[in-house]
């Protein structure tokens, strides 16, 4: 698979929290951090995760952090991409029922 799949989302966390979660969220796969770019080698392909700190969401006096996250998947077929995201999402899910 030579094409690239992109996925963009906002996460309710700080950059520091996200970086702390990376090893577990990617199942201890090899990774490198260069500024706001996290590169992961997994499933025979590569995932690049670009981070963008955004203004907090405010609800009255409450301020919630917002981190823009863009995933770029290279060399992963759909089942491997889905497996990566399923684990990543489960690991980084916070609170809730």
With respect to residue 64, please indicate whether it lies within any of the assigned structural domains.
yes
With respect to residue 97, please indicate whether it lies within any of the assigned structural domains.
no
With respect to residue 8, please indicate whether it lies within any of the assigned structural domains.
yes
Regarding pTM above 0.75, the answer is: yes
Query: Per-residue pLDDT tens for 10-57?
Result: 999 999 999 999 999 999 999 999 999 999 999 889 999 999 999 999
Looking up residue 62, the CATH number of its domain turns out to be: 3.30.1370.80
Give residue 97's pLDDT: 40
88 to 45, 60, 71, 79: CA distances (angstroms): 16, 31, 11, 14
1 three-state secondary structure: coil
Give residue 1's pLDDT: 42
Task: Write out the residue range of the structural domain in which residue 35 sits.
Answer: 4-92
* Count of domains observed in the chain: 1
With respect to residue 48, please indicate whether it lies within any of the assigned structural domains.
yes
With respect to residue 33, please indicate whether it lies within any of the assigned structural domains.
yes
């Amino acid at each position: 698979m030579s094409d690239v799949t992109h996925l963009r989302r906002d996460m309710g966390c700080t950059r520091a929290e996200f970086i702390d979660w990376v090893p577990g969220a990617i199942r201890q796969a090899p990774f490198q951090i260069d500024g706001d770019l996290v590169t992961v080698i997994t499933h025979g392909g590569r995932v690049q995760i670009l981070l963008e700190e955004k203004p907090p969401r405010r609800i009255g006096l409450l301020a919630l952090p917002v981190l823009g996250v863009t995933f770029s998947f290279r060399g992963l077929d759909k089942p491997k991409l889905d497996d990566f995201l399923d684990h990543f999402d489960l690991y980084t899910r916070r609170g809730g029922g």
